[in-house]
Amino acid sequence: MSEVPVFTAERIKRFLEEKPLLTWERGQLPGTESQIDVVSIDMYCRACKMVRPFITLASRGGGAGGVQPMGRPADETARYRKDPRLTSTIVEYSFQCAGCPGRPPEKYYFWVEIDVQRQAIRKLGQNPPYTIEIDKSIEDFLGEDGSEFFKRGRVCELQGYGIGAYAYYRRVVEDCISGFIDKLRDIFVLQSVDKLILDRLHEAESNRQMETRISIIKDILPNHLRPGGVNPIQVIYDAYSAGIHRLSEEQCVEYADDIRRSLIYLIRTLSNIKTEQMEYIQTIRKLQDRQNRNKGDQIQGTQN
């Protein structure tokens, strides 16, 4: 029998962020209520128009991240501050955006059923409901068609239609590769990398075979784009090259998830690097201009 994974705080956070409604997620539940607390989640904020950290609104007697079991009076909750045992119940999670400019900040509520006997949890409700809105930086990178495919992939994923989601995300990958190559070239040129690496990039660009293109750029991805040593292009490559024909619906759900996460990471990071580097270059240019002006002044000074 395969081991059932434990519900850690990180796993429940992910569950809140991503799991569709009414789908059971099985796992070993912790012993006490405080262990299912979630301090913050990362969700799309409709006011900020980007993914933001949302911080818990509930608090457990001064502690952070408390969930509120439904139907238990507040004073009774206060009495339970000693962290009661987790029982089968329905709990409410509530969060507010940490970065909202206006007042009041955007909020998220989740109602989660805990079933201790079955060792499983599921969402009964969520407000606001799932959005398929995507980050501005991702929308800018993908363009109109790419964003549309990405959103359709997300809709399929949220309904549990793995094959559909996988097919849409594969299409997004294909549309993204040229953009990744361009951004990588910008980075490589600025970092004055070895010519061999630029040659490999050119090879990827001119190759017609999608799998080969992805395979080449996974090998030359800089280390600072591999969080925790994980190469997101390798993850995309593995998922992409699995091919859709022999995969089960469940495998497709997993591959779709891998592709979406890796794409989001790469697009966000590459877009940020570009902006930061442009700002840096502008600063350097200003500095150089000033130095040149100073030199000019000095020359003029000696001529006078």
Q: By CB under 5 A, which span of 44-52, 178-186, 223-231, 256-264 interacts with Zn ion?
A: 44-52
Q: Is 55 in the site for Zn ion (CB under 5 A)?
A: no
Q: Is 50 in the site for Zn ion (CB under 5 A)?
A: no
Q: What character string, x for contact with Zn ion (CB under 5 A) and - otherwise, covers 105-134?
A: -x----------------------------
Q: Which is nearer to Zn ion, 49 or 81 (CB)?
A: 49
Q: How far is the CB of 98 from Zn ion (least distance, A)?
A: 8
Residues in binding contact with Zn ion, number by CB under 5 A: 7
**CA neighbor of 159 nearest in space, from 16, 23, 14:** 23
Q: How far is the CB of 135 from Zn ion (least distance, A)?
A: 13
Q: By CB under 5 A, which span of 36-44, 52-60, 166-174, 238-246 interacts with Zn ion?
A: 52-60
Q: How far is the CB of 77 from Zn ion (least distance, A)?
A: 28
Of 100, 116, 221, 247, which lies in the binding site for Zn ion, with binding defined by CB under 5 A?
100
Q: Which is nearer to Zn ion, 48 or 167 (CB)?
A: 48
**CA neighbor of 123 nearest in space, from 61, 54, 38:** 38
What residues pair up with 89 in beta bridges, in sequence order?
114
Q: What distance in Å separates the CA atoms of residue 236 and residue 262, rounded to the nearest whole number?
A: 7
Phi, psi torsion values for 126, nearest 5 degrees = -155, 135
Q: Which residue has the tokens 């070993």?
A: 28
Residues between 9 and 28 that touch Zn ion (CB under 5 A): none
Q: How far is the CB of 4 from Zn ion (least distance, A)?
A: 36
Of 45, 201, 235, 267, which lies in the binding site for Zn ion, with binding defined by CB under 5 A?
45
Residues in Cβ contact with 44 at an 8 Å cutoff, skipping those fewer than 6 apart: 50, 51, 52, 131, 133, 134, 135
Q: What character string, x for contact with Zn ion (CB under 5 A) and - otherwise, covers 196-235?
A: ----------------------------------------
Q: Which is nearer to Zn ion, 11 or 268 (CB)?
A: 268
Provide the residue type at 172 as one letter: V
Q: How far is the CB of 96 from Zn ion (least distance, A)?
A: 8
Q: How far is the CB of 151 from Zn ion (least distance, A)?
A: 20
Of 9, 21, 39, 48, which lies in the binding site for Zn ion, with binding defined by CB under 5 A?
48
What residues pair up with 59 in beta bridges, in sequence order?
64
Paired tokens of 108: 């998220």
Of 43, 97, 239, 267, which lies in the binding site for Zn ion, with binding defined by CB under 5 A?
97
Contacts 24+ apart (CB under 8 A), 107-114: 107/54, 107/57, 108/41, 108/43, 108/54, 110/16, 111/70, 112/16, 112/67, 113/89, 114/29, 114/36, 114/86, 114/87, 114/88, 114/89, 114/90
Please give the helix or strand (H or E) that residue 51 lies within, else none.
Answer: strand 50-56
Q: Is 47 in the site for Zn ion (CB under 5 A)?
A: yes
Q: What distance in Å separates the CA atoms of residue 33 and residue 199, rounded to the nearest whole number?
A: 56
The residues binding Zn ion (CB under 5 A) are 45, 47-48, 52, 97, 100, 106
